[in-house]
Amino acid sequence: MPATRLHIDTISSLDWVEAIVQVGGTLDADTAPALLREITRVRQNGANRVLLDLTGVDEIDAEGVDVLLHIRRQMHYEDGVFGVVGFGEAARRSLREAGVADVLGLE
C-alpha cells in the first residue's frame, strides 16, 4: 500500500493575526496529526483567525473528520475564529457522509 501523503501550505498576514492553511492529499489517521501540528504552530505564532482550504483534499476518513472537529472546538474554546473556505468534491462527499458538513460550513 502506498504511503498516504498530505500537503500543507500556510499563508499568514505579516502580523500572524490571520492564517490560511491550504491542504491537499489525503486527510486520514496517518496524516491528521500533521495538520493538527501545523494548526498548533500557526496558533502559537499568534494567529487568532485560521481559515482552512480543503480544495486539494482527495479523501477524508473518520480520523481526519475528528481532527477538523477538534480544531474547530479548540479555536472556539480559545476565542479564535476557525472556518473552512474551500471544499473539493472529495472533501464535500466525505464531510456529508460523516454528517458534519453543516458544522464545518459546507451546508
Domain with residue 86: its CATH number is 3.30.750.24
Q: Which domain, by its residues, includes 94?
A: 28-107
Q: Are 83 and 48 in contact (CB under 8 A)?
A: no
Residue 11's contacts (CB-CB under 8 Å, 6 or more residues apart) are 19, 20, 22
As a whole number of Å, the end-to-end CA separation of the chain is 34
Does residue 2 form part of some domain?
Answer: no
pLDDT tens track of the chain, all 107 residues?
A: 444 588 888 888 777 789 999 999 999 999 999 999 999 999 999 999 999 999 999 999 999 999 999 999 999 999 999 999 888 898 899 999 999 999 988 76
Indicate whether 91 belongs to any domain.
yes
Q: Please answer whether residues 35 and 27 qualify as being in contact, where contact means their C-beta atoms are separated by less than 8 angstroms.
A: yes
Beta-ladder partners of 51:
20, 83
Number of domains in the chain: 1
